[in-house]
Structure 1
Amino acid sequence: MSEHNLILNVDSYKASHYLQYPPGAGYVSSYIECRGGVFPEAVFFGLQAFIKQYLLAPISAADIDEAEALLHAHGLPCHRAGWEHILEEHGGLLPLEISAVPEGTVVPLHNVMLQLVNTCPACFWLTSYLETALVRATWYPMTVATQSREIKKIIARYLEETADSLDGLPFKLHDFGSRGASSLETAMLGGMAHLVNFQGTDTVSGLVAARKYYGAEMAGYSIPAAEHSTITAWGREREADAYANMLEQFAGTGKLVAVVSDSYDIWNAIENIWGGVLKDRVIKNGGTVVIRPDSGDPVKIVIESLERLMRIFGCTENSKGYRLLPEFIRIIQGDGISRRSIPKILQAMKERKQSADNVTFGMGGELLQKLDRDLLSFAMKASAIRIDGHWQDVYKDPVTGPEKKSKRGRLALVRDANNKFRTIALEKLGDRENLLRPVYRDGQLLLETTFDEVRARAEI
């Protein structure tokens, strides 16, 4: 059985839908939008990865045989004739057109971002058949990219208030989420989506995805860093030796090294090891030692760690009146980090006149895993059908769920006189530019986007 059989990349009930459309149906047009959520806008991202991975290779006779056997055993019909038509008349490539906003575009909620329609009237059923795969492939990277960007806006605001520049912003949120992701593909897509906004990551698979799908030679960076096992392997009585070894192996002019320091007692590590027996080596290391305190309440841990380090190593006051550690030492907090805790930490630092430039955040499960489709109320809906040569609107408008009311007709996305995004009916487009551009048609990628272009569009 093939895990890449596109016919089986579907919800069960879709298999019976080809029998449920009205007689005379020839074309179905559907769209994707974010119907609401915790953020005011969404970063459109991930479509090109899906197209390259799943839509450029043709289905085969073996795929049809496999799908028919499985679906029949599952209790459902299989549209064998429909899939054989695609195989014989279209070379196994899907007769669909997908139009979308350029990837990286930041679109306010409640606007169309993607629209797809079948290009062969015999395949009217195909548009909605793709919903399962297409929604799953796009809601997740879009949501990760959107949340990451919102956090970037928060960090940027505190840097503007408490630091002399925004130079460090691209490395202020580091991806620690790979091991907490539900699968390798999740880590690839989510890790890549985070890199739309930042350049720090430990999710290697995100780098692989950015290179494979968007041509990014190197989308992110990391530094040598200790984990608890490489510190505790030395034993508690040799904790200072473990830290000294990190400096011996990785410190040097222009280099950074991160050392987790809470395996036993973070305060002892700061006061008596980093600020005691290793103090001169830290000062003269030539680069930057990044202390990772981790355990405990993140707000209290960060501000207390900074206060102790400033007392031991000194600090300067920047042009805005906020205190900054010497360049040879910083901290990274990787425990308890989320879009909710980051502003609390930065606000507590601000109140104590500690510059946001002193800290970097490492974010794991909250970045790549603690998300769902409802965070942006992400949905794909049919909005128009062509029956006997005439287009007519398709929509839902539940009395008991008015927030689920869907859009009608074939759609276009434009900018109005105030340069704001607005979704309109396609027939009302006139001479205005439709921001939904054809990206895929009949098995071909029509428009290729680079990762640099995505980043530029998503920039805050």
Structure 2
Amino acid sequence: MTVNPILNSDSYKLSHWVQYPPGTDGMYSYVAARGGTASHVLFFGLQALLKDYLSQRITMAHIAEAEALAALHGLPFNRAGFERIVKKHHGYWPVRIRAVAEGELIPTGVPMVTIESTDPELFWVVSFLETALLRVWYPISVATRSFRAKEIIRRYLLQTADDLSGLPFKLHDFGARGVSSYESSEIGGMAHLVNFMGSDTLAALVAARRHYHEPCAAFSIPAAEHATITAWGRRHEGEAFGNMLAHFAKPGALLAVVSDSYDVFHAVSELWGERLRQQVMDSGATVVIRPDSGEPVQVVAEVVERLAASFGTTLNGKGYRVLNHVRVIQGDGVNLASIDAILSRLAKLGYSADNVAFGMGAELLQKLDRDTHKMALKCSAISVGGQWRDVFKDPVTDPGKRSLGGRVVAARDSRGAWGVNTLERVSDADLQMRVVWENGQLLLDEDFATIRARAAAHLAN
């Protein structure tokens, strides 16, 4: 979709250029999480946003379209300012953007992105870009939720499994159909893959390839849906399962089969556990059984117990049982709380977390918003007559909305603790922000593997 860059903003921004103090010649703003559901957020997605939106040049045609629409809309239009962008800056926004490294885990209140003007006559573009730039809240929020899930699963694997080799595939993205747009599935699906390597969101693979140079960011396996099972009819559910085995159950292969179309417990014990048991064992494949309804904690536990009764288990080095030939994936009712509860129940029953994986859909990619982590972009300084002055808000009715003043940056002290400093005071050694964009040029273009490794390092701490 082609977007007019001038119209990628809020209506009221069109009137703001005349609202600042006389003599204003510079502006500085920052992006931070102000609180919400976690003390830290995983920073990701700015590079993709810059490539998609700020790399697009403003043209005279864009100006004409925006001016005409503004007149109909009842708002003033800064034609001279936008023409200066086209003529003097070749159509690129005259701004400098600094950011912490993508994949870093950043405490609430610490700036992750800063943006400042580079043309004294066009200082107002910093605020004008708020609408577009603040959309980085979405990949940050998805990456953070995915990271929290990884922390939970890792904790149970450390307790009940011999190693962490299965961790990258323990949370599978089922969310493509549950988001508002293809673009959301690209951005959100890609953000999840900072932490995991399993996904059915093809758009995420496309986005990671385009924005972060990753040839194939995730993997999947052949899997049944209800239609491919119920098309056979209730009496022939076993044949439907057998058809999956015939096509996909090869030595070393994985395949997933949804098994709750009618009676999941009958399917597990009678069909998989008796009729198809020897075929599963002889195939050399691992068959992943998917219950998709009912109360998740109770259903997963009972399915695992029934599979153990039919296929047997092996005791691992930590004394927990691991199913032979089969596994379970739960994709219904999955959220951070249910993941924890399911794994806790299994551990109490003596089963390793190796036995189960999870699929998360709308809970991963859609059931969050800007207030999940109270993300905001705020002006913190303006220059008037060449002199910088602090700008901040401090509403008496909500202290949580107090913003920072000054040309603030993210910094770390000699002990490695994150904090806030200013450009005037911070040392090069402490500064944790790099210039990633300036006047239309992307100055840092990282690959996905680098960002993944950076995020994974936080789990070892």
1:59 positional shift: 0.8
Query: Which residue does the alignment assign to 1:332?
Result: 329
Which of 175, 188, 196 in structure 2 is aligned with 1:177?
A: 175
Would you say 1:68 and 2:67 are equivalent positions? yes
Q: For 2:436, give the aligned amino acid.
A: V
Of residues 407, 411, 415, the one that matches 2:412 is: 415
Counterpart for residue 79 of structure 2: 80
Structure-2 separation of matches of 1:20 and 1:346: 56
Cα shift readout 1:149-204 (whole Å, capped 9, x = no counterpart): 01100000000011111110000000000000110000100000000000000000
Counterpart of 1:101 in structure 2 is: 100
1:210 aligns with 2:204: no
Question: What is the CA deviation profile of residues 365-422 of structure 1, one whole-angstrom value per residue up to 9, with x for unaligned ones?
Answer: 1000000111111010000000011110000011111111100100222211221111
For residues 427 and 361 of structure 2, the distance between their equivalents in structure 1, rounded to whole angstroms, comes to 47
- Paired position in structure 2 for 1:225: 223
Q: Which residue identity lines up with residue 6 of structure 2 in the other structure?
A: I
Most deviating of 335-344 and 408-417 = 408-417
1:97–1:438 contact (8 Å) kept in structure 2: yes
Give the whole-Å Cα distance in 2 for the aligned partners of 1:24 and 1:432. Answer: 34
Question: Equivalent residues in 2 for 1:91-170 (5 A)?
Answer: 91-136=90-135, 138-170=136-168
Letter in 1 for 2:391: V
Contact 2:94 2:439 in 1 (8 A): yes
Residue pair 1:118, 1:126 contacting (<8 A) in 2 also: yes
- For residues 291-302 of structure 1, what are the structure 2 equivalents within 5 Å? 291-302=289-300
Name the SS of the counterpart of 1:112 in structure 2: coil
Shift of 1:57: 2.2
Tell whether the 8 Å contact from 2:173 to 2:189 is kept in structure 1 after alignment.
Answer: yes
Q: Which residue among 444, 450, 454 is the counterpart of 1:453?
A: 450
Change (3 A) 1:277 1:430: closer
User: Residue 377 in 1 paired to residue 393 in 2?
Assistant: no
Amino acid at match of 1:211: R
Distance 1:264 1:4 in 2: 47
Deviation, 1:89, is: 0.7
Distance in 2 of aligned mates of 1:133 and 1:266: 47
Q: State whether structure 2 residue 352 is matched by structure 1 residue 345.
A: no
> Partner of 1:28: helix, strand, or coil?
strand
Counterpart amino acid of residue 328 in structure 2: I
Inter-partner Cα distance in structure 1 for 2:357 and 2:230: 24
The Cα shift of 1:310 comes to 0.3
**Runs of 4+ that moved beyond 4 A:** none
Cα deviation, 1:101-150, whole Å, max 9, x if unaligned, reads 111111111101110001111111100100001101x0000000011001
Cα distance in 1 for residues equivalent to 2:53 and 2:234: 51
Structure 1 residue aligned with 2:184, among 179, 182, 186? Answer: 186
Match of 1:234 in 2: 232
Residues 294 and 301 of structure 1 are in contact (CA less than 8 Å); yes or no, is this contact kept in structure 2?
Answer: no
- Paired residue for 1:32? 31
Q: Is the contact made by 1:56 and 1:93 (CA closer than 8 Å) also made in structure 2?
A: yes
Equivalence for 1:264 = 262
Tell me how far 1:432 sits from its aligned partner.
3.2
- Structure 2 residues without counterparts, runs of 5 or longer: none
Q: Deviations over 1:249-268 (max 9, x none)?
A: 11101111100000111111
- 1:433 is displaced (CA, Å) by 3.5
Question: Match of 2:117, as an amino acid?
Answer: N
Which residue of 1 is the match for residue 317 of structure 2?
Answer: 319
Q: What is the rounded CA distance, in whole Å, between the counterparts of 2:429 and 2:159 in structure 1?
A: 40
Determine which of 388, 392, 397 is the counterpart of 2:394.
397
Distance 1:352 1:57 in 2: 56
Structure 1 residue 442 and structure 2 residue 439: aligned?
Answer: yes
Provide the residue aligned with 2:358 in structure 1: 361
- Report SS of the residue matched to 1:428: coil
CA contact (8 A) 2:253 2:285 kept: yes
SS in 2 for 1:249: helix
Kept in 2, the 8 Å contact 1:106–1:457? The answer is no
| Equivalent pair of 1:302/1:333 in contact (CA under 8 Å) | yes
In the alignment, the residues of structure 1 paired with residue 93 and residue 10 of structure 2 have an alpha-carbon distance, to the nearest angstrom, of 18
Q: Which amino acid aligns with 1:195?
A: L
Give CA deviations for 1:67-107 in whole Å, capped at 9, x if unaligned: 11111111111111110010011111111100001111111
Match of 1:284, SS state, is helix
Show CA shifts across 1:303-334 (max 9, x none): 000000001111122122211101x2101000
DSSP-derived class of the 1:456 partner: helix
**Aligned partners of 2:299, 2:218: CA distance in 1, in Å?**
28
Moved more, 99-108 or 172-181: 99-108
The amino acid that maps onto 2:68 is A
Structure 1 residues 249-294: Cα deviation after superposition (integer angstroms, max 9, x where no partner): 1110111110000011111111111111111001111121000011
Contact 2:5 2:56 in 1 (8 A): no
Residue 384 (structure 2) pairs with residue 387 (structure 1) = yes
Q: If the length of structure 1 is used for normalisation, what is the TM-score?
A: 0.98
Structure 1 residue identity aligned to 2:367 = K
Amino acid in structure 1 at the alignment position of 2:176? S
For residues 33-48 of structure 1, what are the structure 2 equivalents within 5 Å? 33-48=32-47
Cα distance between partner residues in 2 of 1:50 and 1:38: 24
Over aligned residue pairs, what C-alpha RMSD do you find?
0.9
Q: After superposing the two structures, state which structure 1 stretch, 418-427 or 117-126, moved more.
A: 418-427
1:431 deviation in Å?
4.8
**Cα displacement string for residues 402-449 of structure 1 (whole angstroms, at most 9, x for unaligned residues):** 111100100222211221111112211145341111000010001111
Give the residue type in structure 2 aligned to 1:452: A
8 Å Cα contact 1:174-1:201 kept in structure 2: yes
Look up the SS of the partner of 2:187 in the other structure: helix
> Any idea what SS the aligned residue of 1:78 has?
coil
8 Å contact kept, 2:413–2:430: no
